[in-house]
Copies of this chain bind each other. A is one copy, B any other.
Amino acid sequence: MTNAGALENAAPRDDRQHTDHGLERKQQLLDAAAELFADRGYAATRVVDICASAGVAKGLFYWYFPTKGALFAELVRTMRLRLRRAQGDVLDPTADAVTRIANGAEASVRFMADHAAYFALLDVERSDPEFADVLDEGAGVYLDDVRRLVEEGQRAGDIADAPSSLVAVGVLGAVSSFSNSYRNGRLGDNVTVDDLATFVRRWVTNALT
């Protein structure tokens, strides 16, 4: 925690020239870190643990990443891109707003179930001030997406009148709550991803109208 809240200086990095093998090695570190973070939390995972898990010496870590926090940030950004793509894959511009919201919610739930480790990670550091920026930077975008859809649905009369930001929070909250509970096994073993996905779809649709 040398200088909190300032990991944007990861941007003007002296961008190294990585070989293919280098990029592969870097990915190994990212993967190892993601798993360890998810298991034990960010703070409880030492840099040396990540390296051990990837089978390399500690010093090598700093060849690929300027700081521990920078790796985390990179992990977050990667994850966000993938989620966004997953959501885009179910985009159907011809459908009505409620359906599109439900589609997005369902896709998100499935994606989060598939990448449980990654999202456990997000969960962990939500409120660490050091990462507030990187984390919020994304949250707002999704919120806006959903809010726009909500307003569209309200104009069409499919969604009850209420502050659109409230409704959007409700949708996003439902997705993350269900995903969390599923990931933590709080739902029992007899609930499959498909069960969850269809349930979330119905839950959100009900709540909206």
Contacts and interface: CB of A to CB of B under 8 A. Distances in A.
Contact of A177 (B128, B176, B203): B176
Interface in A112-156: 120, 123-124, 126-130, 139, 143
7 contacts: A1-B44, A43-B43, A44-B130, A163-B195, A173-B180, A206-B207, A206-B208
Interface of A: 1, 4, 40-41, 43-44, 120, 123-124, 126-130, 139, 143, 160, 162-163, 165-166, 169-170, 172-174, 176-178, 180-181, 186-188, 190-191, 195-196, 199, 202-204, 206-209
Contacts of A169: 177-178, 181, 186-187
Contact of A126 (B44, B123, B176, B187): B123
Contacts of A191: 163, 165-166
B44 A129 contact: yes
B166 A173 contact: no
A81 to B, nearest CB: 23
Given A1-B44, A41-B129, A170-B203, A165 B186 contact: yes
A168 B170 CA distance: 15
A148 B109 CA distance: 26
Nearest to A180: B173
B186 A177 contact: no
A173 B176 CA distance: 8
A44 B130 CA distance: 9
Contacts of A174: 170, 173-174, 177, 207
Contacts of A120: 127
A190 B166 CA distance: 11
Contacts of A1: 44
